Amino acid sequence: MKSKKTLDLSMIIFLLVFFIFLTGFRGVKVEVVSLSGSVDRVDHQQKAVTVNGERVVLSPGTSIVDEQGNRLSLSDIKPKAQVAVEVIREVGSGKSQVNRITLKKNPLSK
């Protein structure tokens, strides 16, 4: 009888803990937004790039690559360069994070 009460009590505690923590693990809806165009301005101090009038701030996890996948740095991005920017936005909060910037090869240069 005593083990039955202990089992019931432990099951109730387990369920309470489970439901309390389950509410903290809600999924966050995100959307991937792509932006491409010409770089208007590069701000090295604030680690930001303005593309077609829209300013995007780089996060620590932002990767900058060329079309072949070679890693680049922010100093490799120059004004008037063609880029594609991949931004991940949280739907509810509006927070955004730049995931990747791809520097496109200028078709006029050889």
**Span 66-82, average pLDDT:** 92
Contact in structure between 69 and 100 (CB atoms under 8 Å): no
Query: So what's the pLDDT on residue 110?
Result: 46
From residue 65, give the alpha-carbon distance in Å to each of 9, 13, 15, 50: 56, 51, 48, 17
- Write the CB contacts of 100 (distance below 8 Å, at least 6 apart in sequence): 62, 63, 64, 65, 85, 86
CATH topology for 30-103 is OB fold (Dihydrolipoamide Acetyltransferase, E2P) (2.40.50)
Q: For 28-60, write each residue's pLDDT tens digit.
A: 788 888 889 999 999 999 999 999 988 889 988
Q: For 85-109, write each residue's pLDDT tens digit.
A: 998 888 777 788 888 999 998 665 5
